[in-house]
Amino acid sequence: MILQERLKSLFENLDILISQHALYISKLEKAIKSGKSFNHKTCHECNFGVIWDNHVVPIKGELPEEIKSVVEEIEKIHCEFHEVSMQIDPLNPHQSYQEKLIKMKDLSTVLFQKLLYLRRLVKEVYLRRLVKEE
């Protein structure tokens, strides 16, 4: 697949990634509020991670440096989010969880911002390459 097609595919998958992360957060928050168990997943096991690993990781080496650096930031933030969230047990709440919840939400905010920035950047690069080909 040529880079143009890969950029288009990446762009199309970004909204799915954003929604998958939002769903994960929502499910965790519901489990915390209700005191029910939650099946924590690593950054490679969650739906976001599975899609990311299947669609983004294989093309990372081919991406322009400006996109690749944002992709690497997103990977780091996403995995850090899961490391923090795994420290929260909805069945055994602690006062210290508030700090972890705040950290988790802060990481999510940064992750969403980076994903939106990546979407804009991929679109710009994709369109620039299309114009060059014409």
Which tens digit of pLDDT belongs to each residue from 8-35?
A: 788 888 889 999 999 999 999 899 889 8
55 secondary structure, DSSP code: H
pLDDT band at 130, cuts 50/70/90?
low
The H or E element that residue 131 is part of is helix 97-133
**What residue segments make up the domains of the chain, in order of their start?**
3-133
Choose among 60, 59, 46: nearest CA to 17: 46
What pLDDT was estimated at residue 132? 64
Name the amino acid, one letter, at 68. Answer: K
CATH number for the segment(s) 3-133: 1.20.120
Q: Is the pTM of this model over 0.85?
A: yes
